[in-house]
């Protein structure tokens, strides 16, 4: 996670956002760039003490790591969004930005950008009306 | 989401799980197969009434849809896991299974499997000890 706090970094990020997201990102008190760590396997011996072999047994190949990093970092992104909201702040996740540009400016080859999240207290009239949802039978099949 | 409730379907699914996951999946009261809908854009005019053009403007191309479906369905999978746990049940998400096999047996070409989630009340001694976590400074960079 890269937290964008300086004005200099904010300006670089705003330039990389799609036009419709620039004003919001320029105004947010805090911005988080969330990324997947494609070299996460290096941490596994410390993080998975019950299965330290996972590093070499399951994740020796970079494409396998990238797929797992994407899945697991995206789950973490959802938890992060809920955590921000649980702390009483608004989280505005966005994927409308220049992904290669954000990677180059804020990350490196080992980190894949997932989303940019504006964080702060919402302004007046910040919300769209709640959109319709799919019905249960449109989403769930039982076998 | 495919909810596996019948014994016949459960047996088909257990056969597709990696060996280490078979006993758990055979014993779980309920199993959910979570998938990304790669044709989600068909729903956008109904779900995004403030931006009905999104369907054709943003998601005309299948590869773009697949990437967006993967990201958004994975976020939903995290919310689903938390929802199950918030309801007082245990959720055991797994990616150790035959993905092409699950797709063929339970889904179709328009749906990509993400994970299989065992759902129920945990047995005695169901948990590993809490594993170590990375420290803040190992995860967060501030610019």
Successive 10-residue mean pLDDT values, chain B, 143 residues: 98 98 96 98 93 92 96 98 96 97 98 98 85 96 98
Ordered by start, the domain boundaries in chain B are 2-124
Q: In this complex, do A49 and B114 lie within 8 Å of one another by their Cβ atoms?
A: no
pLDDT above 90 (res A50):
no
Percentage of chain A lying above the pLDDT 70 cut: 100
Q: Distance between CA A81 and CA A75 in Å, rounded?
A: 10
Q: Which long-range contacts (CB under 8 A, 24 or more apart) does A124-133 make?
A: A126/A90, A128/B50, A131/B47, A131/B48, A131/B49, A131/B50, A132/B46, A132/B47, A132/B49, A133/B47
Q: What is the mean pLDDT of chain A?
A: 96
Q: In this complex, do B141 and A47 lie within 8 Å of one another by their Cβ atoms?
A: no
Mean pLDDT over A57-82 rounds to 96
For A1-54, the DSSP string reads: -EEE-SHHHHHHHHHHB-HHHHHHHHH-SEEEEEEEETTGGGGHHHH-TT-TTH
* ipTM attached to this prediction: 0.94
A75–chain B nearest CA distance, Å = 5
For tokens 């993400």, what's the residue?
A: B114
Buried b (16+ CB within 10 A) or exposed e, B94-121: beebeeeebbebbbeeebbbbbbbbbbe
* Cβ contacts of A100 within 8 Å, gap of 6 or more: none
pLDDT score for A80: 98
pLDDT score for B37: 98
Q: In this complex, do A143 and B74 lie within 8 Å of one another by their Cβ atoms?
A: no
Nearest 5°: CA angle at A103, between B82 and A19? 85
Q: How confident is the model at residue A18 (pLDDT cuts 50, 70, 90)?
A: very high
pLDDT in tens, A85-138: 999 999 999 999 999 999 999 999 999 999 999 999 988 888 888 999 999 999
Q: Distance between CA A64 and CA B99 in Å, rounded?
A: 14
Mutate to test the interface with A, among B21, B68, B141 (most CBs of A within 10 A): B141
pTM of the model: 0.95
Mean pLDDT over A55-59 rounds to 93
pLDDT above 90 (res A39):
yes
- Residue B31: name the closest of A37, A117, A143, A123 by CA: A143
Mutate to test the interface with A, among B75, B119, B133 (most CBs of A within 10 A): B75
Mean pLDDT over A11-19 rounds to 98
CATH number for region B2-124? 3.40.109.10
Percentage of chain A lying above the pLDDT 90 cut: 92
pLDDT score for A107: 98
pLDDT score for A125: 83
């Amino acid at each position: 996670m890269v937290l964008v706090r300086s004005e200099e970094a904010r300006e670089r990020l705003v330039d990389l956002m799609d036009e419709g997201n620039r004003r919001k990102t320029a105004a947010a008190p805090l911005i988080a760039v969330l990324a997947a760590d494609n070299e996460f396997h290096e941490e596994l011996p410390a993080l998975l003490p019950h299965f330290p072999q996972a590093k070499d047994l399951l994740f020796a190949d970079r494409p396998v790591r990238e797929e797992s990093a994407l899945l697991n970092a995206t789950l973490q992104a959802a938890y992060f969004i809920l955590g921000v909201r649980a702390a009483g702040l608004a989280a505005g996740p966005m994927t409308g930005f220049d992904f290669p540009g954000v990677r180059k400016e804020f990350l490196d080859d080992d980190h894949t950008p997932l989303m940019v999240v504006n964080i702060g207290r919402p302004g007046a009239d910040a919300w769209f009306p709640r959109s319709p949802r799919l019905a249960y039978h449109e989403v769930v099949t039982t076998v």
